[in-house]
Amino acid sequence: MQAAEVGSHCPGCSRGETAILSAAVKLFAEQGFDGVSMRGVAQAAGVSKSNIYHHFDSKEALYLAILRDCAAETAELVENLASGKSSFEERLKEFSKAYQGHLFERNLSSRLLLREALSGDEQKSKRVVDQVVGNVVRRMISILSAGQEAGVLRADLDPTLCAFLLFGSNVFFFQAQEILKHFPEAEFAGETTCFSDGMVDVLLNGMLNKPVEGERS
């Protein structure tokens, strides 16, 4: 189920550096910056602690290197989206599903990036906005604005708010996956795409100018 994560393949990197990166992304994602020790990273990577300092200047530098990798992944994924030729409504559904899939596939990277973005810390947030989510969100907003001008979306809605609802709902579902397990009545919990479909349905039929009747049974 788990796809390639940061550091699992790294052309031009020695075996040790690759091992360090993939071990570090796992540990940082699970325990956060302060919860991880360089000794722990070294042990998990099967290298000496000194070796890490041979490849990275400091703990901070190692963390930033991983953060940059995560950022590059996300940016690349979003670049592949929004370039589709299908209908507006269909593109939004596809985007949501793809984004949801991305979050779960790159579980560790996503967790790491979200922790940084939603920490509430001003500097950390600014860095994430500048280096990662800024362009993505702006792109989504412009897409939604275009949808408004085309008459597909309600004209009285704030496209920025809609963009944040789209991202936020997916992100929250991803963050709350452990919580959801404790609610047996949530049948959609196990099925990622199932949630995404239902979510977009709710959001779209609220955003669409003309509610689509008869589309569902």
Partner DNA sequence: TTACTGACCGACCGTACGGTCAGTTTCATA
Partner DNA sequence: TATGAAACTGACCGTACGGTCGGTCAGTAA
Q: What are the residues binding DNA (CB under 7 A)? A: 14-17, 36-40, 47-51, 53-55, 57-60
Which one of a copy of itself, DNA, none interacts with residue 215, CB within 5 to 8 A by kind? Answer: none
Q: How far is the CB of 7 from DNA (least distance, A)?
A: 13
- The CA distance from 173 to 25, in Å, is 22
Q: Which is nearer to DNA, 46 or 168 (CB)?
A: 46
Instruction: For a copy of itself, give the closer residue by CB, 43 or 145.
Output: 145
In the window 133-172, what residues touch a copy of itself (CB under 8 A)? 133-134, 137-138, 141, 156-158, 160-162, 164-165, 167-169, 171-172
Q: Does 57 bind a copy of itself (CB under 8 A)?
A: no
Considering beta carbons, is residue 16 or 101 the nearer one to DNA?
Answer: 16
Q: Whole-number minimum distance, CB 202 to a copy of itself, in Å?
A: 4
Which residues between 11 and 30 bind a copy of itself (CB under 8 A)? 30
The two three-digit tokens of residue 209, written as one number: 């100018």
At closest approach, how far in Å is the CB of 113 from DNA?
20
- The full 3-state SS of the chain, as one line of letters, equals CCCCCCCCCCCCCCHHHHHHHHHHHHHHHHHHHHHCCHHHHHHHHCCCHHHHHHHCCCHHHHHHHHHHHHHHHHHHHHHHCCCCCCCHHHHHHHHHHHHHHHHHHCHHHHHHHHHHHCCCCHHHHHHHHHHHHHHHHHHHHHHHHHHHHCCCECCCCCHHHHHHHHHHHHHHHHHCHHHHCCCCCCCCCCCHHHHHHHHHHHHHHHHECCCCCCCCC
Task: Please report, as ranges, the residues that interact with a copy of itself according to CB under 8 A.
Answer: 30-35, 111, 117-122, 125-126, 128-130, 133-134, 137-138, 141, 156-158, 160-162, 164-165, 167-169, 171-173, 175-183, 185-188, 195, 198-199, 201-207, 211, 216-217
